[in-house]
Amino acid sequence: MTERILSYLVHFVTQVISFGGYAGVATLMGIESACIPLPSEIIMPFAGYLVYTGRFSLFWAATAGAIGCNLGSVIAYWVGAWGGRPMVERYGRFVLMSRHDLDRMTGFFEKYGTIMVLIGRLLPVVRTFIAFPAGVAKMPQLRFHIYTFLGSWPWCFALAYVGMKLGEKWHTDPRFHEAFHRFHMVVELALVAGIIWFVWSHLSKRREPTTV
């Protein structure tokens, strides 16, 4: 099942980038940054492969990806800013998010917002959802987008560079096929482990007796 889903994602990503060029890269990275888990670990390496073929520039591929991160973040940021606390208080239980989670998240952003955005954009999974809590915490928009770009660009550049190098060796060194496959498996396992931990920890809190 995982292999089938991954193959669908790869096909979708390659088609969008093949037809859309840099705009396709920006669109797909925008989807990821709008809290939709479309892995940048698939998007940017294929953009890097097109760098190897000569269609893309490495610099502009990374820049298109970082711009897409900012565009997608606009949606997630404003969802958090406009409907964040009331939305969580009313519907948060359906996604295992409590008022305590929201208070802790907002407090963290008020104190460490800049650092969290910079670091979060360099972390798998976290980077997909970072914009929503930034909106809830009302992080200044200009600062948020500057640091979103600064944090996203190295991530996009690194993944595109990996894709470029894989493209150079793809037909000459079979070890790269296996390395590429393992890379995706590690990302998928990390995502599953994070979801399991999140659900288990929140369900455990629900079972604990409340104190008056």
Q: Percent of the chain scored above 90 by pLDDT?
A: 22
Q: How far is CA 130 from the centre of its chain?
A: 8
What does the pLDDT average to over 1-14? Answer: 67
Per-residue pLDDT at 7: 66
Rounded Cα–Cα distance for residues 147 and 150 (Å): 5
Is residue 56 scored above 80 in pLDDT? yes
What does the pLDDT average to over 127-136? Answer: 78
User: Do 28 and 17 contact (CB within 8 A), yes or no?
Assistant: yes
Per-residue pLDDT at 161: 93
Ranges assigned E (strand) in 28-179: none
pTM of the full structure: 0.70
Per-residue pLDDT at 1: 46
Mean pLDDT over the full length of the chain:
75
Per-residue pLDDT at 68: 95
Query: Residue 34 contacts by C-beta under 8 Å, 6 or more apart in sequence?
Result: 72, 73, 75, 76, 131
For tokens 């972390």, the residue is 123
Ranges assigned E (strand) in the chain: none
Q: What angle do CA 182, 170, 181 make, to 5 degrees?
A: 10
Span 150-167, pLDDT tens digits: 989 999 999 999 888 887
Q: Which of 9-18, 28-37, 188-197 has the lowest mean pLDDT?
A: 188-197
Is residue 200 scored above 90 in pLDDT? no
User: Do 27 and 20 contact (CB within 8 A), yes or no?
Assistant: yes
Span 58-106, pLDDT tens digits: 999 999 999 999 999 998 888 878 877 676 666 555 544 556 666 666 6
Per-residue pLDDT at 105: 62
Query: Residue 146 contacts by C-beta under 8 Å, 6 or more apart in sequence?
Result: none
- Helix H, strand E, coil C: the string for 170-192 is CCCCCHHHHHHHHHHHHHHHHHH
